[in-house]
Structures are given as structure tokens and as C-alpha cells.
Structure 1
Amino acid sequence: MHRWTLALLTAGLLATTATGCAGTTTTPGAPAGGTPRAAGSPAETLRLAEQLLIKECMEKEGHKYWVEPPSPDDVAIRFPYVVDDPAWAKAHGYGTDLRREREAEVRRNANQRYFRSMPADTRATLVNDLNGARPQGLSARLPNGVRVTHSDQGCQATAERELYGNLQAWFRATRVTDSLAGLRVGLVTNDKRYKAAVKPWARCMRERTYPYADPARTRAAATLPETPWPHAKEVRLASAEAACAVSSGLSTVAKSLDSEYRDRLRRSHPRETADLTRLKREALPRARAIVARGD
């Protein structure tokens, strides 16, 4: 999941590497205040249990750690093809207001303040204790051929090992299935059915005085300029995109294709898909017990 975070750690301290691309690294960052305890869905319970285990491990290493709340979805996660929720578009445009809020939260959260308060050598120790000193021990080959690695040491790995049991299987299953999301978006947007559905959407946009050929260009126009758009201007463009997505049928086509390619990609990687489902199912009773006992 994409997260808006401040670049507080240097590349030399990151504990995850990949041959050809970067992997995933946990960085301290949670809002100041009390420790979140609400856990409703299985996914929320697993996430909270993992955070509690990380907190417990970090405190054993002599550090402070505050449980991370779930991060809000980036607009690219919420709307990978086209903004198609008029109410959301009216409130947030392309989500730059939410992005700014998240960046402000990161700047003032307890973990980041704690990290910034430490001298450089202590920061390095903190990162190593969280992520492991070297990106060695865990490895997975992604569908695009890239090999990603991560340390099997550190509190992140310790928490995942305790929660999911087979750490290597968990690492491989999560990295491979996570990478399928990007592949799926590319397959959908290159599908001739999607391209055909974009044409009436573009006509609808032109009728509203927006001459953009596809949704990617509308989003780029509002979110990429060096000078940010006024919120009202961003909202007007996103609202037009959403209205046209619904009226032209592009939203329906995109969702149908997304479901089709999701199923196809899962079938093409049955081992990782099955492992992910099994590991989560087996971890859930442990997670509920961890959440129930709290700190």
C-alpha cells in the first residue's frame, strides 16, 4: 500500500533491497496520543496484533514505539482507473487535501518525533532493531522477474514470525500478491475494452470543457504541477471526471475488467494466493489473543 511519509531515513539505513527495485521497509510513524485498540475486521485485527508485537519487541530493545494506525488509501489505490465517486470527488477532488493532512500527521506523530530526537548513531540502531541490520534472510521472486529481499531479523520480522509462523512463506506470499495489483492495473488499462470505454468518457469530458484523452491525464493535470491547483479547481475537474465515469459506463467496464484480471492473476499464482489465505486464517486466533491482552 502506498503511504505518504517523510523521507527521514537515508538510503543507507533502509533494511530492504531488491534487484532492480526497492522493497518494503517499516519506518516509525504514528499519530501522537493513545494506542489504538479498535479492531473489527480480520484484516484490522491482524494489523493491530502485528503492531502490538512490534511495540513489545522494540520496548525490549530499549526503544519507545507507538502503535501505528491504518494509513488512508491513496487516490491511486481507491480509484486505480478513474475517479467514479461523485460525492468523494466533491469533497476531496483528487485527494491532495488528504495527502497534506497525512503529511502533517507524519510530521507531528510520536514515533517520528522520537526518531528525530535521537542522535544519528541511535537512529541507526533504532532502524536496525526495527528492520534488521541487513536485507538478508528472506527472498521472493516477483512475477516481473525482480528478486526482493528483506532481513529475517529485527522487530518487524519477529512480529510477523510470531503471528504467521512461516516467515519465508509469508514474505513470499505478500510480496508476490502485492505486486499483482500493479500488473492488474496495467492489464486493465491496456485492454481494448477499457480503451473503447474511455472514448465516450473523453467525449463527456470535452462537453464539460475538459479536453483530456483519458483519466490518467486529468489526474496528472491536477496533481503534478509544481504550483498546486486551488482546491475548488481540483474539485471541479475531479467531479467532472466522476460524473462522466458514471454516465459513460467507464466505471462499470473498469470494475468488470479489474475483477476479471484479478481472478486470472490469482489463478496464475496459486501457491502464493493459497499461502496468503491460509497464513492469515491460521494467524487470526493468535491475533485476537494478542489484541485481547493489549500492551
Structure 2
Amino acid sequence: MTTLGGGCADGGDGSGPGSVPRSVRAQDDLLKSAESALVRRCLTERQIPTRSVGDDGQGRGVAPQREFPYGIDDPGWAARHGFGIPVERGSREPGVSASEEQQRLSDALFGTGRRELSTRTATGLVVQANSDGCLAEAQRVLYGDLGRWFRTEVTVNNLAAAAHRRVTQDPVYRAALARWSHCVAPVQEADTPGELRSAWQRRARGLAPREATALQQRYAVTEARCVRRTDLARTGARLEKRYAAELRAEYADVIAEHRQLRDHGLRYAVRHGL
């Protein structure tokens, strides 16, 4: 990545003050921070309170985040965390409808009216968004061309889902999945790991939290042992690597355009101290 300044101290990721970070993670953090700063500036100009922006409340009392796209393959993790789905502990107060202030914030962030931005992903999904909200305004300023950014960002971010879909339709994966289904059948009949989770949720509705947790762990351990036994996760990962490479080749022009827009955003963020 070309830096914007020379002779600066190293910033820990190979860059210094006034330069674009070299690592992808640091670049992602910079773009997220810059976008957030521009959104807050826009909201302030529109006299919208910003105290709740960026507070997603994640990471409180939930299982450690692990990705298991083709079934849990770690029996030890499954024994401790089950599927990683929180179990309800007692009744909750009835939900309170969104306040006028929250609605104002949502409208200001994401815009209102007809959705002017639209693109179709590699999975065939049509994604649309407004262009008059503060998020769109921040992206317009940061990347220089909102329409191009929306199209390429949505497309590139969907490629992993497209690769996953191709894997699940592959005959080799389907054969491994059939073996997995036969393996879990003595505990619970299910054609896919998703169906096994749904079966647990149905049975857990009438159970006490401790019993529901124990049942979740039992099902999850069964899933994991059968994933190991049938090589389901490794089969999925191997196929995904191939399909991801195919999709990168198919969408090479869009990926290059997306990278160009990211570079524009990084340079803008550094130049303006965001």
C-alpha cells in the first residue's frame, strides 16, 4: 500500500502516523472508524442524538464466537457451549416498541422513501438501500462514488455466501451430509446441522433452562462427533476453497474496483485525520 507520508515512526503494523496501514485488519479498522466519524458528523448536523450509535451490546454472556459453516467439528467446544445459542432464563418483560427518538435515528442513519440503490448478488439476492441517510452520505464522502461503492461492497461481501451455497449443492458434500444424517439419527433425525438446531429449539420450549442447556449440549456433541466421523466440515472447507477461487476469478473486475474504492477511502481517512 502506498503511504502518504515518509520518515515516520512505525505504527506497529508496518505503517506510521500519516500513512495508510499495511495490514488488512488495520485498514478495516481505519475505514470503520472513519465511516463512524462521518456518520456522527452528519447526525450532529441534522441535530440527531448520537449516544447510541456504535453500541451493539455484543459479547455479553454469550459463547465465544466460533465459525462452524459446515457443522461443529469440536466436540469439546460443543460439550461446553452446545450450539452457542443462549437459553432463556425466566420470563422477560414485554418488549417496548421503538421510541420516536429511535425511529428518528434510524431514519437519519439509513434514509427513508424509495430505495435508490440496488444490486444483485452472486447468490441472486437483490439488495437495496436508500441514498439519503447519514450512512450513505458518509460512504459517498469516504469512497467518492456511492453507487459504485454500494454495488461492489455488497457483491464482494456476498461472495463467501455464494461459495457456501455452491458447496452445499455439490454432490460430494451432499454425500458426506447424508452420512452425517445417518450418524446423528439414533439421537435425533435431521438432514442438516440446521435441522438439528431447529429440533433442539422445538424440544427446549417446554423444558427448564438447565434441562434445555443439557439437551443442547447433547445434540451439539452428537453433531460434532458425527461431523468428525464423516469428515463433513473438512469436505466443506476443501470444496469452499475451490469455489471461492472460482468466484474470485468470475468477479475479478468487481473485486479490483472495490479495492480501488477502499484505497480511496483509506487515503481520504488518513488525509483528513479520521
TM-score, L = length of structure 2: 0.71
Q: Partners of 1:197 and 1:288 in 2: how far apart?
A: 49
Aligned CA distance change for structure 1 residues 89 and 282 (closer, same or farther; 3 Å):
farther
Q: Partners of 1:142 and 1:171 in 2: how far apart?
A: 11
User: Does 2:114 correspond to 1:135?
Assistant: yes
What is the match of residue 265 of structure 2? Answer: 283
- Structure with higher Rg: it is 2
CA contact (8 A) 2:71 2:227 kept: yes
AA at the equivalent of 2:198: A
User: Does 2:166 correspond to 1:187?
Assistant: yes
CA contact (8 A) 1:84 1:243 kept: yes
CA contact (8 A) 2:83 2:217 kept: yes
Give the count of matched residue pairs: 239
User: Does 2:71 correspond to 1:82?
Assistant: yes
User: Does 2:48 correspond to 1:63?
Assistant: yes
AA at the equivalent of 2:227: A
What is the match of residue 247 of structure 1? Answer: 229
Aligned CA distance change for structure 1 residues 249 and 274 (closer, same or farther; 3 Å):
same
Q: Give CA-to-partner distance per residue, 1:233-253, whole Å, 9 cap, x none.
A: 101211221222123311111
Aligned CA distance change for structure 1 residues 156 and 226 (closer, same or farther; 3 Å):
farther
Aligned CA distance change for structure 1 residues 40 and 289 (closer, same or farther; 3 Å):
farther
Within-5 A mapping of 1:143-154: 143=122, 147-154=126-133
Q: Which moved more, 1:66-75 or 1:224-233?
A: 66-75
TM-score, L = length of structure 1: 0.67
Aligned CA distance change for structure 1 residues 74 and 173 (closer, same or farther; 3 Å):
farther
CA contact (8 A) 1:93 1:237 kept: yes
Q: Give CA-to-partner distance per residue, 1:263-287, whole Å, 9 cap, x none.
A: 2122222232222233223323444
Q: Partners of 2:185 and 2:156 in 1: how far apart?
A: 38
CA contact (8 A) 1:135 1:151 kept: yes
Aligned-pair identity (%): 28
What is the match of residue 222 of structure 1? Answer: 200
Aligned CA distance change for structure 1 residues 197 and 154 (closer, same or farther; 3 Å):
same
AA at the equivalent of 1:232: A
Aligned CA distance change for structure 1 residues 236 and 278 (closer, same or farther; 3 Å):
farther
AA at the equivalent of 2:161: G
Which consecutive unaligned segments of at least 5 residues does structure 1 have? 1-38, 108-112
CA RMSD of aligned residues (A): 3.6
